Amino acid sequence: MYTNLVSFLELFPLSPLSIFWPQSQRRKSQKNRISALLGLKKFRFPNPAHPLLKNSHKSALCLTSREVYGIFVRYNLKSIFLNSMQTTELLALAQTYGCPLYVYDAAKIEHQYQRLTNAFAKVESLRINYAMKALSNISILKLFRKMGSGLDTVSIQEVQLGLHAGFTPDKIIFTPNGVSFEELEQAAALGVQINIDNLSVLEHFGTKHPKTPVCIRINPHVMAGGNENISVGHIDSKFGISIYQVPHILRIVENTGMTINGIHMHTGSDILDIEVFLYAAEILFDTAKQFQNLEFLDFGSGFKVPYKKGDIETNIEELGKKLTKRFLAFEKEYGKPLTLAFEPGKFLVSEAGYFLAKVNVVKQTTSTVFAGIDTGFNHLIRPMFYGASHSIENISNPKGKERFYTVVGYICETDTFANNRRIAEINEGDVLCFKNAGAYCFSMASNYNSRFKPAEVLWKDGQGHLIRERETFEDLLQNQILLDL
């Protein structure tokens, strides 16, 4: 029954129809009926009980697909992809704006932001700083500003984009790595929060700008993340100041008279086990005890999202309960209120993104059937760069018989998006949809092979809004200086 439910919701993510199973297919206990529906061995009502699961549902379990989605979200059963966009809407956007095309669902972004804030609702001072490196379009930044988010930046250009999008300096934190001292001073002059992860830079900055409070990024020596490329808190990482070098930090603070107003860490991305977060949190708390003038603790991010069917994600709700309890206890130990900060990027925008590409050719060889599309790793590099797996659907033929295809791009490299993937039968001219294309996709795009970068569309309130035009040949020539040779 769980499989049937998943299939139904994938086809009708916003359908007003209700899901109904006859009495003969349900157990006597209402809780057991819910358990059977959700595929759980045991189901516990939330406290207070979910309003959709009251005694009024004795005779039948009748929930709309949106309501069932709410239950899935609450109970961390999100190995399915449920956004507010439907296949017909995506196809219409592809027809209007052409392919390749990035589409972002504003409702999904807002939902993810609300999930995170709800998970830490008992924290009096909570700060969400969107990691704009994941997706930096100005319209996306404005959407986050409207929701009350802050901004996590890693370059002076990102700082400037954030200010251009309307963020005030106090809402921006600058966390660079290996940048010039001039860039650091430029950011400080703009009034944003500075985060330093290098002892020599800390000493230099404290000597020149002792009146400017700074945050320090520690390296907790924790190996965490989906793979080595995205694990950044271990002993061999270039990021952060080792926790064993804290005495050196204290010496610099004493000698320069500078103020440390925050402690920050980020251990990696795609972390599933919440115990890893809690373990690293204890290291952060122990470090924080050695600094008397702190205003905030920044726990970074790294929350895992599902990229393909069967994936599970970080249980944000459970993490929220456990970390909130420990944070509130630490506030009492520390003796003053603190702000709890996070810097999520992928968690907020990944599942909101779709990448649409048209099939140029279907090529049959002696061993493989290739589906060649009008894009390449110049537009979506994650599968080649990180070995990432994106769900791919043929939205032109969603009910077609599944066959095995190897999906490849038009770049003169081995830009393979999927090997021998089961996809509904593909014909030339069909539109393929890559899901989870909101984070580190367009932001890592290039003009390799002199290809134009694609357009971007924001889907909001039932309408598509163009937020970036497709590049043209003139864009390729921009900034080039033609010599008379």
Strand partners, 13: none
- Is 302 annotated to bind a ligand? Reply is yes
For residue 68, the number of C-alpha atoms closer than 13 Å in the C-beta half-sphere is 29
- Is 440 annotated to bind a ligand? Reply is yes
Cβ neighbours of residue 344 under 8 Å, at least 6 residues apart? 116, 128, 130, 131, 301, 303
- Is 413 annotated to bind a ligand? Reply is yes
Q: Judge contact between 319 and 277, C-beta under 8 A.
A: yes
- Is 162 annotated to bind a ligand? Reply is no
What is the Cα 147 distance to its own chain's centre? 16
Cβ neighbours of residue 77 under 8 Å, at least 6 residues apart? 38, 39, 40, 71
Decide: helix, strand or coil at residue 358: strand
Rounded Cα distance, 108 and 80, in Å: 14
Candidates 29, 25, 23, 28; CA nearest to 2 is 25
Q: How many residues does the chain have?
A: 485
86-103 CB burial, b ≥16 within 10 A, e <16? ebebbbebbeebebbbbb
Compute the 3-state secondary structure of the chain and give helix, strand, coil in percent, each to the nearest 5.
35, 20, 40
- Is 382 annotated to bind a ligand? Reply is yes
| Catalytic residue (one of 99, 412, 433, 441) | 412
Q: Is 412 a catalytic residue?
A: yes
Lookup: tokens for 394 = 């043929």
341 φ/ψ sector (left φ>0, alpha ψ -120 to 50, else beta): beta
Rounded Cα distance, 120 and 422, in Å: 39
Helices marked H in 240-304 — which ranges? 246-256, 274-288
Q: Judge contact between 453 and 447, C-beta under 8 A.
A: yes
Question: Residue 13, preceding bond cis, omega within 30 degrees?
Answer: no
Lookup: tokens for 395 = 């939205």
Decide: helix, strand or coil at residue 463: strand
Lookup: tokens for 197 = 């992860």
Compute how many other C-beta atoms are within 10 angstroms of the C-beta atom of residue 220: 25
Decide: helix, strand or coil at residue 384: helix
Rounded Cα distance, 238 and 49, in Å: 47
Residues annotated in a binding site: 302, 382, 386, 413, 440
Residues annotated in a binding site for pyridoxal 5'-phosphate: 302, 440
Residues annotated in a binding site for substrate: 382, 386, 413, 440
For the annotated catalytic residues, the residue numbers are: 412
